[in-house]
Amino acid sequence: MEKQKSKWHTAIKLILILAIISFVVSWIISFFIGTDIIDGNVAIIPISGVIMSEKTRSFGQSIASAPSIVGFIEEADRNPKIKAVIFEINSPGGTPVGSEEIVSAIKKLNKTSVAYIKDIGASGAYWVASATDYIFASRMSITGSVGVIGSYMEFSGLLKDYNVTYQRLVAGKYKDIGSPFKELTYDEERILQKQIDLMQEYFLDDVLKNRNLPKERIEEVKTAKIFSGIEAKEAGLIDEFGGKEEAIKFIEDRLNITAETSEFAEKTSLLDVLSEIMNEKSFFVGKGIGSSMLEPRSSNRIEVWT
Amino acid sequence: MKKRGLNLPEERTFKGPALVWKRFLAFLTDFLIINLVLFFPFKRLIQSSMPEFGSFSETYAYLISNQSYTQALTVVSLAMSIFALFYFALLEYKIQQTPGKMLLKISVIGEKKEVRFWQYLVRSLFIIPIFPFFLLWVLDPLFLFLTKTNQRLSEILSKTKTVEEYIIR
């Protein structure tokens, strides 16, 4: 009997110890998993930096990877808790294919989408914004630039100066079209220009459809000029002035919900942070050395920052 | 008149395989305790992080779409199973019984006299919900019913058995 009593005592003691440890462990786990859990009802997807069609890294330049962004859009679409998506745009644009991939994913999204342009949302980034239901931008944001650029440096003159010859060996008349080592012929220029015009036509056509712009605005937008936020509002390129708060308010009013935001962004590991620091440091060290070699001692350049 | 005591033979006891229904009931009792005491903080963690959905399909869609949450859930369930494993292993190591087994008067013994802690861990490995341990969910009951000694596969592997005391008069 006494032995049985002692066994119960031991059992209760052990269970209590395990219970305390389980409390502590669950508390520790909550710290680690808390940040990963998507608990809000409004997804925020940042599009920051140059839009690329691949997951690439770049020295000192932030990249908006189209596959990652598309993945986040699809994830938000599948998630029944997410009722709307806000695109936080701060990008000068990027590759046509990367931009189109994001645009296409937004069009497939079955949820309310809003974009707000921070400092810049131009070219491909504006195309992305135009695919959303509503666009906010600051009065001082830079947007527009609905055009395509294919310019490149040509070194044929430089090669000539240094007595270097470009030995042209091609099968197919236009195989080396756009080679920086030879002068562009009239025919080649026409071909490249036609391609670029076609791309702009497609881009422009989609933006016009997305924004339902009046015909009188088409010519202005077609010039690929940049628009300040104020001009963009007049031209119908954006809907309202505002930022994140206004975008959230818009969603709350439209969907009659209390918005809780969740950011959908790439998780950065410690290794990523360290390599980024190393990259940036190396970039600026190189830049510093280069500048000290090239720049005159007393510079009369005027730099404007705002 | 002089009273004469009955000259009955002495009671003899021996340990034989525990009845399956007793083992099942003991397991249910233990699982209830684990669920109420050890799993409580983890369940609270899951409930606080899991949004409320109206239907199973919505919950399923959420889990499918939210990979980081699914990963977190995997970590939590693994931690829970480890606690359950230690509940059985520690109690059986210390007192050869769990509260469920104490109530049903069954206990765990080794095939040899000395039983090491790892043996108690091995006999409860079926609790860990990862490959290959979850195969024991099928294999353990099969062995329990098909072996003469009523031993689960994990009991055979750990060289332990669940017994109860039988009295022979």
Domains and CATH numbers, chain A: 42-145+225-284 (3.90.226.10), 150-212 (no CATH)
Determine, yes or no, domain membership for B6: no
Pairwise CB contact (< 8 Å): A23 & B41: yes
Determine, yes or no, domain membership for B48: yes
A211-258 pLDDT, tens digit each: 988 777 888 888 999 999 999 999 999 999 999 999 999 999 999 999
A173-218 pLDDT, tens digit each: 899 898 889 888 999 999 999 999 999 999 999 999 999 887 778 8
Given a contact cutoff of 8 angstroms between Cβ atoms, the answer to whether B42 and B76 are in contact is: yes
Whether B90 contacts chain A with CB within 8 A = yes
B94 to chain A: which residues are within 8 Å by CB?
10, 14
Of A7, A37, A80, the CB nearest to B49: A37
In sequence order, the 6+-apart residues with CB closer than 8 A to the CB of A10 are B94, B95
Tell me which of B29, B30, B48, B49 to substitute to probe the interface with A (most A C-beta atoms closer than 10 Å).
B49
The pLDDT-based confidence of A304 (bands split at 50, 70, 90) is: very low
Of B38, B58, B98, the CB nearest to A22: B38
Of A11, A15, A36, the CB nearest to B72: A36
pTM (whole model) above 0.80:
no
Whether B61 contacts chain A with CB within 8 A = yes
Report the range out of B10-19, B39-48, B71-80 with the highest average pLDDT. Answer: B71-80
A142-153 pLDDT, tens digit each: 999 998 888 888
Answer yes or no: is pLDDT of A302 > 70.
no
Region A84-113 average pLDDT = 95
Determine, yes or no, domain membership for B148: yes
CA proximity to A4, closest of B105, B91, B168, B19: B105
Total domain count for chain B? Answer: 1
Determine, yes or no, domain membership for B30: yes
ipTM here: 0.84
What six digits make up the tokens of B23? 């083992």
The pLDDT-based confidence of B61 (bands split at 50, 70, 90) is: confident
Determine, yes or no, domain membership for B28: yes
Q: Could you tell me what percent of chain A has a pLDDT over 70? A: 82
A14 to chain B: which residues are within 8 Å by CB?
90-91, 94
A37-59 pLDDT, tens digit each: 566 889 999 999 999 988 766 55
B33 to chain A: which residues are within 8 Å by CB?
15
What six digits make up the tokens of A21? 């440890």
Q: Using beta carbons and an 8 Å cutoff, which residues of A are at the interface with B?
A: 4, 7-8, 10-11, 14-15, 18-19, 21-23, 25-27, 29-30, 32-34, 36-39, 75-81, 267
Chain A residue closest in CA terms to B91: A11
> Which domain range does residue B25 map to?
12-168
Determine, yes or no, domain membership for B145: yes
User: DSSP letters along chain B, please?
Assistant: -------PPPPEEEEEEPPHHHHHHHHHHHHHHIIIIISHHHHHHHHHHSPP-SSHHHHHHHHHH-HHHHHHHHHHHHHHHHHHHHHHHHHHHHHS--HHHHHHTEEEEESSS---HHHHHHHTGGGS-STTGGGHHHHHHHHHHHSTT---HHHHHHTEEEEEEEEE-
Task: Give the least confident one: A12-21, B1-10, B55-64, B84-93.
Answer: B1-10
Degrees, nearest 5: CA angle B43-B84-B148: 140
Determine, yes or no, domain membership for B59: yes
pLDDT at A300: 43
Given a contact cutoff of 8 angstroms between Cβ atoms, the answer to whether A126 and A221 are in contact is: no
**CA distance linking residue A49 with residue A65, whole number of Å:** 9
A82–chain B nearest CA distance, Å: 9
Chain A residue closest in CA terms to B63: A79
**CA distance linking residue B34 with residue B97, whole number of Å:** 15
Determine, yes or no, domain membership for B63: yes
A272-288 pLDDT, tens digit each: 556 666 666 666 666 66
